Amino acid sequence: MRIFIKPFLIILLSLNFLSAQSRSDFELRVENSFIKLYENPDVAIHAAKEVRNDGGGWFTKDILTRAYLLKGDYLSSVRDAFEKSTLENENQELLSGLIIAREFYFLNLYEQTSKIIEPLLQDTKSTDKKVSNAVYAKLFQLNTRNLIALKKLDEAEKSLLKSSNFAKNNKNSFVLILKENEFLKATIALEKGNRPEARKIADRLLKDLSSLPRATYLFSVIQQFRGQLFFEEQHYDQAIECLNSSLNAIDKINYIPLKSSIYEDLAKNYLVIKNNEEFELYKNKYRETSKLLEEDKKEARLELIKLSTELSTENNKVILHQKKMQLRYIIGISLLLVLLMVYIFIREVQKSKTLIKQIKFFRTINFKQTEVSKEEVKAKEPLKKQLIIPKETEKEILNGLQQFEQSKKYLDNNMSLPTLAGELNTNTKYLSEIINKYKDKNFNSYINELRIKYIIHLLSTDRSYLQYKISYIAEIGGFTSHSAFTNIFKAVTGMSPHEYMQTLRKD
């Protein structure tokens, strides 16, 4: 399973934030903007901006920042998150913390997200239960997502339960939040290896969505998740059907991060079933969208640091008029950003030397299998006195080995010494001694090294393979066992497949 949840489900704030007792026209307009997040983020942005002009404050800020995240416009989301709001109430610190923590989460800064959220969850008491239930339901949900990203699954389950408990206090307004929590429950089950439970929850959610026709985004995410389950079960046709359903639902809507993730999954499925035309189509779509998203994320991270620093400076002017916890929060964020940059700088400097050495090592590998030169044969001549293999036979076997290496038949997981000897019209004893003499290794080591070099070449020349699971890469290379592949790869290269793929991603 991929690192955790590829879909970008957004954290919802309930309409119960509004403090008025009756449902005014203003409340209905905010609700309409909120619902449109799941239909079309562009329309939601337009509707939220109109409400903001009438004093929407933090409510519309939440909708706007989430809509931009759904679109993949991370830079605009960061800027709106730090824009000043006119709303003043006792929950302002919670609302602000939720919005800013979410920016850190979607920019993959998970440790920093934890630093922001944890202090906010220490005291869940508030006089305004209507608002606090909404905020804490979202805070615990965001905390759950973050814990899943950090692979802290037991803690994630506890946090998810707390989120649902707060949401259940306002059932009518928190239907979508509870549905999202069910999806997170399925995600945790899959991460723990309980695929049947994950499928059961996903299928139930898909059925439940028939009563929520406006939740297009949620429908698409769940269909993609089902597609991933089918892929792991090697039911590729069903996986493609789910992924196409997921993509068709949002075909004309700018849910770019979700589309990019679906493109990647479709490319992976078409590669497995050897549909090269469709594979190339979706691989190119994935590359284009992921490149744009990553560039925007880089700009957003820089803007996040800049605006966080400016926010800290401005808040110093009114720090004496704010609560003690708010003071700690602002200073904590500022120090965290400084420490984060220092830590990243020091860590990257330390890693750079090792990474450069590793990259250079792998780039020096000659991936093209070349013929044994006459000079090499002559250099080995003294050893031939101990062999009883005729000279012409020896050359024929060497030529046969060269053709064997170029044909890539070594990727066949049924390849054995007798099989290869039969293909070269020789016997196993001759073949074994020739490999020992000119390759300096036994038959198994010879085959395994050819396979490892092929995989290294594949990963180095086509970065799309860096997205696949190691078990699938092992299968491509002719290995029948994930663990055997990992052990052999490390024995040949000095590092594990995961470490090598991580190195290439950073190169």
Residue pair 325/93 in contact by the 8 Å Cβ criterion: yes
Its CATH class, for the domain covering 374-506, is: mainly alpha
Q: What's the pLDDT at 32?
A: 67
Among residues 368, 376, 445, 375, the alpha carbon closest in space to that of 405 is found at 368
For the segment 60-79, what is each residue's pLDDT rounded down to a tens digit? Answer: 788 888 889 999 999 998 88
Its CATH class, for the domain covering 15-315, is: mainly alpha
**Which of the two residues, 332 and 436, has the higher pLDDT score?**
436
Q: Which residues neighbour 462 within 8 Å (Cβ) at sequence distance 6 or greater?
A: none
Q: Long-range CB contacts (< 8 A, 24+ apart) of 225-230? A: 225/7, 225/183, 225/186, 225/187, 225/198, 226/199, 226/202, 227/265, 227/269, 228/1, 228/2, 228/6, 228/265, 229/190, 229/195, 229/198, 229/199, 229/202
The model's confidence at residue 1, banded by pLDDT at 50, 70 and 90, is very low
Over residues 303-313, the mean pLDDT reads 75
What residue spans define the domains of the chain? Answer: 15-315, 374-506
Q: Which residues neighbour 234 within 8 Å (Cβ) at sequence distance 6 or greater?
A: none
Q: Which residues neighbour 111 within 8 Å (Cβ) at sequence distance 6 or greater?
A: 150
Among residues 473, 43, 422, 474, the alpha carbon closest in space to that of 217 is found at 43
Q: What's the pLDDT at 376?
A: 47
For the segment 156-173, what is each residue's pLDDT rounded down to a tens digit? Answer: 999 999 999 888 865 545
Q: Map 159-218 to HEC letters.
A: HHHHHHHHHHCCHHHCHHHHHHHHHHHHHHHHHCCCHHHHHHHHHHHHHHHHHCCCCHHH
Q: What's the pLDDT at 450?
A: 92
Over residues 461-476, the mean pLDDT reads 87
Q: Is the predicted pLDDT of residue 21 greater than 50, yes or no?
A: no
Q: Which of 145-149, 273-277, 376-380 has the lowest mean pLDDT?
A: 376-380
- State how far the Cα of 137 lies from the Cα of 25, in Å rounded to an integer: 25
Give residue for tokens 């036979």: 393
* pTM above threshold 0.75: no
3-state helix, strand, coil in the chain (%, to 5): 75, 0, 25
Q: Is the predicted pLDDT of residue 498 greater than 80, yes or no?
A: yes
How many angstroms separate the Cα of 103 from the Cα of each of 116, 294, 299, 326?
11, 15, 13, 19
Q: Which of 97-101, 323-327, 484-488 has the lowest mean pLDDT?
A: 323-327
Q: What's the pLDDT at 44?
A: 82
For the segment 278-303, what is each residue's pLDDT rounded down to a tens digit? Answer: 999 999 999 999 999 999 989 988 88
